[in-house]
Amino acid sequence: MRVIPTLLLLVGSVACAADALALNEYGIEGMGRVSTRADEAGASVSADGRWIVFASNRDGGAGGWDLWQARLEDKRWSQPQPLSLNSAADERAPFFSADGRWLYFASSRAGGQGGLDMYRVAVNGGRFGRPEPLTAANSTADDSSPGVDTHGQLLFASNRGGSWGLWRSDAATGARPQPLPGPLDRAGNSLSVLVLGERGDLVLARDAGDGRTRLHHGYCQAGQWHDGGALPLSFNDGNGLTQAAGVDHSTPAELLLAGSARAPRAGGLDIYRTRAPLGRGDGSCR
């Protein structure tokens, strides 16, 4: 079942206010269907709210991590099915574009430029076309977590600089990727990124140096990206596990994330739903 905490229903959009109004607590997504005894990491819901695509290492896929899709039927997610685009390698980090035309993802499949590469595939009514590599943005290192903001900017995570960090490029051409400007990513170890809203907010997964990742809120002001701190979620404190934030375009005030909470819990890594952080960006990072 698609479980949404009651408090989340009070929020209509990403608001512009200080982070003092902390995130409310969470609900598990699709217990027994989306979230299972296997691991799920990374999820995205289409703009019409009818489809969810997520990554899982459950049985029944093509091998390794695969992308799975479920349809919303009578307010419940249907039994998920693996996407035909899966390979014997890993497919992860799905992201629906806001206009619903594309699904972006990362894969270590044969034929790439090296390690993990980024791809996109055309979407039409829950059906997917042929994967296209983001050749100009990919590198011989690992490139993952692709997402496109409303201004046509591609943001992604890569270890091309020797350590994991956040990069940006033009989504249409992929040309000349550059590190995100500002202090947000100078410490490195940013493993994934999710674009939020229209004015320069994001959620990143950061390696805290203790073998665990924590989700942080990043925001842009005066053309520079800053760290707004760890999301104030009870299992985002090092005692639990959080990673791979995901977007629900049909409900922008809410955030999907992969993690492991004490309860509710289906397996190892599950998909949870909570409130998105309150916006602090000023729209200057375009």
pLDDT tens track for 29-65: 999 999 999 999 999 999 999 999 999 999 999 999 9
* pLDDT of res. 208: 76
Examine the pLDDT at 4 and tell me if it is beyond 80: no
Question: What domains are defined for the chain?
Answer: 6-275 (2.120.10.30)
Please give the span between the terminal C-alpha atoms of the chain, in angstroms, as a whole number: 38
Of 66 and 2, the structure prediction assigns the larger pLDDT to 66
CA distance 4 to 29: 8
DSSP state of 14: -
183 — pLDDT class (breaks 50, 70, 90): very high
Strand partners, 247: 255
- Sequence-distant (6+) residues with CB within 8 A of 261 are 26, 28, 234, 235, 240, 270, 272
* pLDDT of res. 257: 97
CA distance 134 to 122: 13
* pLDDT of res. 211: 75
- Nearest residue to 43 via CA among 272, 230, 284: 272
The tokens describing 69, both together, are 């899709």
- Computed over every residue of the chain, the mean pLDDT equals 89
* pLDDT of res. 70: 98
State the average pLDDT over residues 234-241: 84
State the average pLDDT over residues 230-242: 87
Least confident stretch, 9-13, 160-164, 188-192, 217-221: 9-13
8 — pLDDT class (breaks 50, 70, 90): very low
Least confident stretch, 1-5, 92-96, 273-277: 1-5
pLDDT in tens, 60-111: 999 999 999 999 999 999 999 999 999 999 999 999 999 999 999 999 999 9
* pLDDT of res. 150: 87
pLDDT in tens, 116-139: 999 999 999 889 999 999 999 999
* pLDDT of res. 21: 36
- Nearest residue to 253 via CA among 278, 284, 283: 278
* pLDDT of res. 95: 98
